[in-house]
Amino acid sequence: MLPHPRDLRAQTCFEHEWLSEDFIAESRRVSAAAEESGNSPRKHHFVPKMHLKRWAMSGKVQRTEVETRYVHNPQPYAEVAQKPNFYTLPRTGSTMDFPMKWVETHLGRIETACTRHLDVLGNWTGVFSDAAVKRDLSVFLGLQVTRTVSNRNRYLALIQAPSQQKRRVMKRLHPQLTSAQLDEAMQKQHSDPKEEALHLLFENVRWPVAHGLYQREWAVYRTASPIITCDDPVIFVAGPPFGREHSLGAESAAVLYPVDPFHVLVMLRPGFSHRGPYRLNRSETESINIEVVAGADRGTFERPGDAIACAITVPPRRQQQLDDEAAALLSDSELDRLCMQDISPRSRWTQGSTGPAWPLPRWYR
C-alpha cells in the first residue's frame, strides 16, 4: 500500500478521465440500472475476458497450474480468471451483499475502450510512442496490476496489520514522509478492510502505478513462436545486476505484458532504451514464456494444444507461516521485515539459488 497525502499526490498523480469521480459515478449509475433489471454480472474477472479471448481457439483457452504443471481441459475463456462476486463485499456484521458490483462495470467500460488500442499493438512492431494510447493503456495496465487476487491479498495484509507496525512499515517504505504526512497516509477511507482494499485498487493506480508505466519506454516485439499469458499478466522483471531472488516491483528494469500469442509489450525503466531487432528468435521467445510462468500467481493460459507452460518448471512461491506464539518471540524489526515480505511481490527463487538468465540482455544496456 502506498500513501496518498494531498501534498504529495499532486507530484505524481496521474490525471485521467477513467480515474475521475465523474467516471466512477457513471459506472455506479450503469451498474445500478443493470442490478434493477436483473442483468448485474456475478462473475467478476480479475483478468479481462477481452485479454483471454486473444488466446482462445473455438472460444476456449487452456489453463496450466504453475506449481504442479497440471494441464486442464480447454475451457471457455469467459469462465476462467474469475471469482463469483469478487467485487461484492458483505457489510460489517451483516450477511447481505454490499453493492460494489459497479467495480466490474467500471473495469468493463475501460476494457471496452482499450480493446482497439490492443488491436493496434497486435499489428505493431518496434518502439511505440503514441501519447494518447499510452495514457489510456497506462490506466488499463495499472488496474490490471492492482486488481489481481495476489495484489488484493497484499493490500489486506498491510490494512489488517497492527497500527504501530503499519506506521513503522510505511516509514520504511517512504522515509521522506513527515509525521503529519504519515498520519494522513494512515487514515482509512473505509472501516471494512476489503472495501479499503478496493479503494486502494483505484488510488494506487491514480497515485504511483499509471504514472510509472507511462514514463517508461514502450516497444512491441513480435515472437518467433507462441507466447502464453497468466493470471497476473503485467510482469515485472528486475533484471541485472540483481539475482533471481530479487523482486523490485516498480523499480524493475522491464515490465512485460503479453498482447496476444505473437506479440509482447515491453516497457523499459527510464535510462534504458530499446534496441532492435524487434522480432524475437525462438530462444528469446522461450525466455518470455519463462517470465510469464514465473510471474503467474497460480496459473497460465494458452492456446489449446500449444503445451508451453507444462514444459516450464519454476520453484513454488515461498510461503511463511507464523502463529501468535512464534510472533511473540520476534523483535519489532523482525516483525516489520516479515510484514514487508507479505505486502511485496515475492520472487520464486531464494538467496543463492540458480535461476534462468534474465531475458534479452540488450534491454539493460
Q: pLDDT tens, 335-350?
A: 445 554 554 567 899 8
- Distances in Å between the Cα of 171 and the Cα atoms of 73, 123, 251 are 47, 45, 18
Assess whether the previous peptide bond of 84 is cis (omega < 30° from 0).
no
Amino acid 28: pLDDT: 84
**What span, in angstroms and rounded, lies between the C-alpha atoms of 297 and 153?**
11
Q: What is the pLDDT of residue 1?
A: 38
**Predicted pLDDT at 324:** 47
pTM of the shown model:
0.80
Handedness of CA 278, 280, 285, 291 (dihedral sign): negative
Cα distance between residue 261 and residue 122, in whole Å: 9
Query: How is residue 255 written as a grid cell?
Result: 515490465
DSSP letter at 19 equals: G
* Ranges of residues in the chain whose predicted pLDDT is under 70: 1-12, 38-45, 81-101, 148-177, 181-201, 318-345
CA dihedral sign, ordered 117, 118, 123, 125: positive
Please, what sign has the CA dihedral across residues 163, 165, 168, 171?
A: negative
Say which residue the cell 459506472 belongs to. 27
What is the rounded distance in angstroms from the CA atom of residue 137 to the CA atom of residue 135? 6
Per-residue pLDDT tens digits for 282-319: 999 999 999 999 999 899 999 999 999 999 999 997 65
DSSP 33-66: HHHHTT----EEESS-HHHHGGG-BTTEEEEEET
Share of the chain above pLDDT 70, in %: 67
